[in-house]
């Protein structure tokens, strides 16, 4: 049984805990949050020990195998490195994995030098609709892909960003692209191949934050396809849509719903739409935008560490998505086209902010 601990008891952490509880081969061993009341509540809800210092947790529970990093995005690299270098544990890292490619490479280098694993999370890849369209592209059911389009129309009002100091910052969060649309940017690659060039515009229209709440962009693929992206958290009054469509030479596919969970159009076989759609709205105790994919993630982690098969998101795969994300930001910064093959890195996203980092850094722990 693989023993897993959670660091960070925020919005998505309960979803992790429930997914672990529902998945064979893994067990929740402990939870941790700097705010002890949050950790205590999780501990009671899931009947596991709780801590307010992950260093204490890993010292007192040496049988923990894997640590899920569910802390503010800008702390992922620091926390993952500490868990790897000081405690020798595998790590699971929530989206957007890391804030910039250089952080990703640093963490993977540290893990690989110690024969440890890093597991990036892209749970939307597990959606039935996404899996069906990936198969369709591989099998040529849509022909040659010609046009790809992403639309994310969600709502994050000012009160959402006011919940914590890290939200909406370029150092620790990013905006509609990094926090909310990273999964859909990932699907641009996962479903249609590698993007060659991007041209993007980012703006902040509906809230007062440092990062963007709206982005639009156009891009070209290595294979000759073209595409567009519209991503916003300035929709009001609620989340409406997260969709991706692919126009091919012999067919069209569109995945929509609240979180790319409904196969809405599939011209090669319209009867495939209903069985490859899932209802995410009103998922009890889970949250519609998270879906069911975390359970599949944990199954694959268990299989990887047991030698039954490799985890499906490799280092190169995660790096490709993070580099594409930075391509959109870098294009907006220079107001022009950016070549993804040049490995662009934003001058703003992920830049250090020690004042915010200090708020989420665990104190040293010494054994009595």
Say whether both 192 and 104 belong to one domain.
no
pLDDT digits (tens, 9 = 90+) for 189-210: 999 999 999 999 999 999 999 9
pLDDT digits (tens, 9 = 90+) for 14-48: 999 999 999 999 999 999 999 999 999 999 999 99
Say whether both 82 and 217 belong to one domain.
no
Report d(CA 189, CA 49) in Å as an integer.
40
Say whether both 87 and 148 belong to one domain.
no
- Cis ω on the peptide bond leading into residue 139 (within 30° of 0)? no
Say whether both 16 and 136 belong to one domain.
no
Strand duo 90-93 + 66-69: pairing: parallel
Say whether both 147 and 100 belong to one domain.
no
Residue 78 CB contacts under 8 Å (≥ 6 apart), including other chains? 357, 361
According to the model, what pLDDT value does residue 11 have? Answer: 83
According to the model, what pLDDT value does residue 285 have? Answer: 45
- As for how many domains the chain has, the answer is 2
CATH code assigned at 164: 3.30.360.10
According to the model, what pLDDT value does residue 325 have? Answer: 98
According to the model, what pLDDT value does residue 306 have? Answer: 96
Say whether both 89 and 201 belong to one domain.
no
Per-residue pLDDT, averaged over 307-334, amounts to 98
According to the model, what pLDDT value does residue 282 have? Answer: 58
Per the domain annotation, does 144 fall within a domain? yes
pTM value is 0.96
Name the residue range of residue 182's domain.
Answer: 128-277+313-340
Q: Does position 287 have pLDDT exceeding 70, yes or no?
A: no
Residue 140 CB contacts under 8 Å (≥ 6 apart), including other chains? none
Mean pLDDT score of the chain, rounded to an integer?
95
Per the domain annotation, does 65 fall within a domain? yes
Say whether both 71 and 160 belong to one domain.
no
Say whether both 156 and 192 belong to one domain.
yes
CATH code assigned at 66: 3.40.50.720
Contact criterion met (CB below 8 Å) for 124 and 187: yes
Q: Exposed, middle or buried, 54 (CB in 10 Å: 0-12/13-18/19+)?
A: buried
For residue 113, count other CB atoms closer than 10 A to its CB.
10
Say whether both 19 and 108 belong to one domain.
yes
According to the model, what pLDDT value does residue 115 have? Answer: 98
Strand duo 50-51 + 26-32: pairing: parallel
According to the model, what pLDDT value does residue 281 have? Answer: 67
Say whether both 7 and 95 belong to one domain.
yes
Per-residue pLDDT, averaged over 217-245, amounts to 96
Q: Confidence class of residue 367 from pLDDT cuts 50, 70 and 90?
A: low
Q: Does position 246 have pLDDT exceeding 80, yes or no?
A: yes
Say whether both 118 and 72 belong to one domain.
yes
According to the model, what pLDDT value does residue 86 have? Answer: 97
Per the domain annotation, does 300 fall within a domain? no
Per the domain annotation, does 67 fall within a domain? yes
According to the model, what pLDDT value does residue 286 have? Answer: 44
Per-residue pLDDT, averaged over 47-72, amounts to 98
Report d(CA 265, CA 165) in Å as an integer.
41
Per-residue pLDDT, averaged over 229-254, amounts to 96
Q: Confidence class of residue 329 from pLDDT cuts 50, 70 and 90?
A: very high
Per-residue pLDDT, averaged over 49-68, amounts to 98
Q: Confidence class of residue 57 from pLDDT cuts 50, 70 and 90?
A: very high
Per the domain annotation, does 215 fall within a domain? yes
3-state secondary structure the chain: CEEEEEECCCCCHHHHHHHHHCCCCEEEEEEECCCHHHHHHHHHHHCCCEECCHHHHHHHCCCCCEEEECCCHHHHHHHHHHHHHHHCCEEEECCCCCCCHHHHHHHHHHHHHCCCCEEECCHHHHCHHHHHHHHHHHHCCCCCEEEEEEEEECECCHHHHCCCCCCCCCCCCCCHHHHHCHHHHHHHHHHHCCEEEEEEEEECCCCCCCCCCEEEEEEEECCCCEEEEEEECECCCCCCEEEEEEEECCCEEEEECCCCCEEEEECCCHHHCCCCCCCCCCCCCCCCCCCCHHHHHHHHHHHHHCCCCCCCCCHHHHHHHHHHHHHHHHHHHHCCCEEHHHCCCCCCCCCCCHHHHHHCCCCCCCCC
- Cis ω on the peptide bond leading into residue 96 (within 30° of 0)? yes
Per-residue pLDDT, averaged over 70-84, amounts to 98
Strand duo 145-153 + 66-69: pairing: unpaired
Per the domain annotation, does 246 fall within a domain? yes
Per the domain annotation, does 284 fall within a domain? no
pLDDT digits (tens, 9 = 90+) for 93-151: 999 999 999 999 999 999 999 999 999 999 999 999 999 999 999 999 999 999 999 99
Say whether both 133 and 273 belong to one domain.
yes
Per the domain annotation, does 282 fall within a domain? no
By residue count, the chain amounts to 368
Residue whose pair of structure tokens reads 């891009």 in the numeric block: 219
The region of weakest confidence among 126-130, 144-148, 330-334, 360-364 is 360-364
**Adjacent-strand bridge partners of 247:** 147, 252
């Amino acid at each position: 049984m693989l023993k897993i601990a959670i660091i960070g008891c925020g919005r998505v952490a309960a979803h992790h805990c429930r997914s672990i509880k529902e998945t064979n081969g893994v067990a929740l061993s402990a939870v941790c949050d700097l705010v002890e009341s949050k950790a205590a509540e999780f501990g009671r809800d899931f009947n596991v020990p709780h801590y307010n210092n992950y260093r204490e947790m890993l010292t007192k529970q040496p049988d923990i195998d894997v640590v899920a990093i569910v802390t503010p995005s800008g702390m992922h690299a620091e926390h993952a490195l500490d868990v790897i270098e000081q405690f020798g544990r595998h790590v699971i890292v929530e989206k957007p994995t890391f804030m910039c490619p250089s952080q990703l490479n640093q963490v993977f280098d540290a893990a690989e030098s110690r024969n440890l694993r890093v597991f990036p999370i892209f749970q939307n890849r597990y959606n039935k609709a996404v899996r069906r369209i990936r198969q369709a592209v591989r099998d040529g059911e849509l022909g040659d892909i010609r046009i790809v389009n992403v639309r994310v129309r969600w709502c994050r009002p000012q009160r959402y960003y006011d919940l914590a100091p890290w939200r909406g910052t370029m150092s620790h969060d990013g905006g509609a692209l990094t926090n909310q649309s990273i999964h859909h940017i990932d699907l641009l690659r996962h479903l249609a191949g590698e993007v060659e060039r991007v041209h993007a515009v980012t703006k902040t229209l509906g809230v007062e934050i440092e990062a963007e709440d709206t982005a639009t962009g156009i891009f070209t693929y290595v294979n000759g396809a073209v595409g567009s992206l519209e991503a916003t958290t300035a929709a009001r009054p609620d989340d409406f849509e997260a969709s991706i469509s692919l126009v091919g030479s012999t067919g069209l596919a569109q995945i929509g719903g609240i979180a790319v969970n409904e196969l809405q159009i599939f011209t090669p076989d319209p009867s495939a739409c209903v069985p490859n759609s899932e209802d995410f709205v009103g998922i009890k105790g889970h949250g519609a935008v998270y879906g069911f994919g975390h359970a599949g993630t944990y199954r694959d982690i268990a299989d990887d560490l047991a030698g039954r098969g490799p985890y499906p998101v490799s280092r190169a795969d995660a790096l490709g998505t993070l580099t594409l994300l930075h391509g959109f930001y870098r294009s907006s910064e220079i107001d022009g086209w950016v070549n993804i093959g040049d490995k662009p890195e934003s001058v703003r996203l992920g830049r250090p902010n020690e004042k915010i980092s200090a708020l989420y850094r665990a104190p040293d722990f010494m054994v009595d």
